[in-house]
Amino acid sequence: MLVQKIEAVMSNLEAPLTVEEAAGGWTDESKKATSKFFRDLLTEVKSGKEIPYVGLVRGLDAWGVERGALYEKTMEIARELNARHE
């Protein structure tokens, strides 16, 4: 299920920037950088690697991304991974 969530988010991240995403703070540059993060994460998840704490919220905050459906989807994945460390 996690792999499918990551793949779905990557699909959104690799699509052109929408008006809603731009209103939430996304830019083409932030989507590209976040897509790379999720591409690398997907490789690690598929290989069965232990995933360390995911501080994605800080990275998105630095980009100025703070709301919207895509933001929520990325944060859902980060929360799911981080819950493994609680």
Q: Report pLDDT digits (tens) over 31-85.
A: 999 999 999 999 999 999 888 888 999 999 999 999 999 999 999 999 999 998 7
Q: How confident is the model over 14-25, as pLDDT tens digits?
A: 999 999 999 999
> Using CA atoms, how far apart are residues 60 and 68, in angstroms rounded to an integer?
12
Q: What is the pLDDT of residue 3?
A: 95
Domain ranges of the chain: 2-83
pLDDT value at residue 85: 74
**Helix (H), strand (E), coil (C) string for 48-67:** CCCCCCCCHHHHHHHHCCCC
